[in-house]
């Protein structure tokens, strides 16, 4: 009887040991499964972080593309003239302290074949040039952004002076009694000008670079740099200043070219290219 009890006890002990071993084996399997699951979650998390980082980098790159690095250069653009309904006939001094008086401004010429007023052409091109310059990192001040602004030639120059502009580019178109006259030219003050003669070298260089680039881009005949000491908007300037006469609105080819949208973009290319070369870009 005592031996039988010992046998029963041994059997119970053996079963207990077997049960404990099975429990540990199950626990090991469960722990290993949890470890694998955690690793899977961690991999997904790293992938998400990588995608977020790529998205942030792309957004930063797009921001850089949309906001070009500023050049720290302020350019004054002066679209010549204004609407014919704006009375600018009152006189103003042709230069600081001068006794010579001229009309404050005029409405300019018009396209003999296109019918486009010069003041509108000047404004259209100036606005396109402004946008392109800003895209390239320049700062721009406009003397007018519509055809109703009443601002005289002297006031245009003083606006650029007071704004601290680095250069002034005055945008005009030409006219002539001779319908065969064609091409582009630049006007600057002479070295002998008693008011702005000291600006001759820098103005000449600016004018030459802009004119050459403009004619290269458009195929317009290059009529060169001409000096003129009677321009009020030049005589009041304190910074390098040019007048670009973009073409003759009294010439059929020039006039129709300057009315064409695709050709206008070439005009803009030329003006901006010339400014870029002036500043070494």
Q: Which of 23-27, 83-87, 100-104, 139-143 has the lowest mean pLDDT?
A: 23-27
Specify the pLDDT at position 62: 58
Specify the pLDDT at position 28: 44
Q: Which of 16-30, 38-52, 92-106, 213-227 has the lowest mean pLDDT?
A: 16-30
Calculate the CA 120 to chain-centre distance: 21
Q: What is the rounded distance in angstroms from the CA atom of residue 260 to the CA atom of residue 46? A: 56
Provide CB contacts within 8 A for 248, sequence distance 6+: 173, 174, 175, 176, 181, 182, 183, 254, 255
69: DSSP letter: P
Specify the pLDDT at position 107: 85
Q: What pLDDT band is residue 67 in, cutting at 50, 70 and 90?
A: confident
- Lookup: tokens for 118: 């010069």
Question: What percent of the chain clears pLDDT 90, i.e. is strictly above it?
Answer: 75
Query: Is the pLDDT at 71 greater than 80, yes or no?
Result: yes
Specify the pLDDT at position 93: 97
Q: What pLDDT band is residue 49 in, cutting at 50, 70 and 90?
A: low
Q: What is the mean pLDDT of residues 133-162?
A: 97
pLDDT digits (tens, 9 = 90+) for 1-48: 444 455 545 555 554 545 555 444 444 444 444 443 444 444 445 556
Name the residue with higher pLDDT: 54 or 198.
Answer: 198
Q: What is the rounded distance in angstroms from the CA atom of residue 279 to the CA atom of residue 281? A: 6
Q: What pLDDT band is residue 129 in, cutting at 50, 70 and 90?
A: very high
Are 189 and 197 a contacting pair, CB within 8 Å?
A: yes
User: How confident is the prediction for the chain on average, in pLDDT?
Assistant: 86
Q: What is the mean pLDDT of residues 214-230?
A: 98
Specify the pLDDT at position 163: 98
Q: What pLDDT band is residue 61 in, cutting at 50, 70 and 90?
A: low
Q: What is the mean pLDDT of residues 224-252?
A: 98
Q: Is 97 exposed, middle or buried, given 0-12, 13-18 or 19+ CB atoms closer than 10 A?
A: exposed
Total-model pTM: 0.77
Provide CB contacts within 8 A for 172, sequence distance 6+: 80, 81, 108, 118, 122, 243, 244, 245, 246
Query: Is the pLDDT at 70 greater than 50, yes or no?
Result: yes
Specify the pLDDT at position 40: 46
Q: What is the mean pLDDT of residues 243-256?
A: 98
């Amino acid at each position: 009887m005592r031996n039988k009890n010992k046998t029963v006890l041994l059997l119970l002990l053996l079963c207990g040991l077997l049960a404990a071993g099975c429990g540990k084996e199950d626990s090991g399997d469960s722990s290993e499964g949890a470890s694998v699951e955690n690793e899977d979650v961690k991999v997904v998390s790293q992938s998400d972080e990588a995608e977020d980082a790529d998205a942030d980098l792309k957004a930063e790159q797009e921001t850089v593309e949309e906001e070009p690095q500023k050049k720290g250069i302020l350019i004054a653009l002066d679209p010549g003239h204004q609407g014919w309904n704006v009375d600018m006939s009152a006189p103003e001094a042709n230069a600081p302290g001068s006794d010579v008086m001229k009309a404050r401004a005029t409405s300019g010429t018009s396209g003999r074949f296109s019918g486009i007023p010069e003041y509108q052409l000047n404004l259209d091109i100036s606005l396109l040039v402004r946008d392109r310059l800003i895209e390239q990192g320049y700062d721009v001040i406009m003397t007018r952004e519509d055809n109703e602004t009443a601002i005289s030639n002297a006031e245009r120059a003083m606006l650029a002076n007071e704004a601290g502009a680095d250069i002034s580019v005055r945008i005009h178109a030409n006219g002539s009694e001779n319908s065969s006259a064609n091409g582009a030219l630049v006007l600057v003050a002479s070295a002998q000008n008693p008011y702005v003669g000291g600006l001759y070298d820098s103005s000449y260089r600016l004018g030459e670079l802009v004119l050459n680039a403009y004619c290269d881009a458009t195929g317009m005949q290059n009529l060169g740099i001409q000096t003129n000491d009677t321009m009020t908007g030049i005589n009041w300037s304190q910074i390098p200043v040019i007048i670009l006469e973009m073409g003759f609105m009294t010439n059929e080819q020039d006039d129709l070219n300057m009315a064409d949208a695709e050709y206008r973009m070439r005009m803009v290319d030329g003006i901006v290219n010339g400014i870029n070369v002036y500043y070494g870009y």
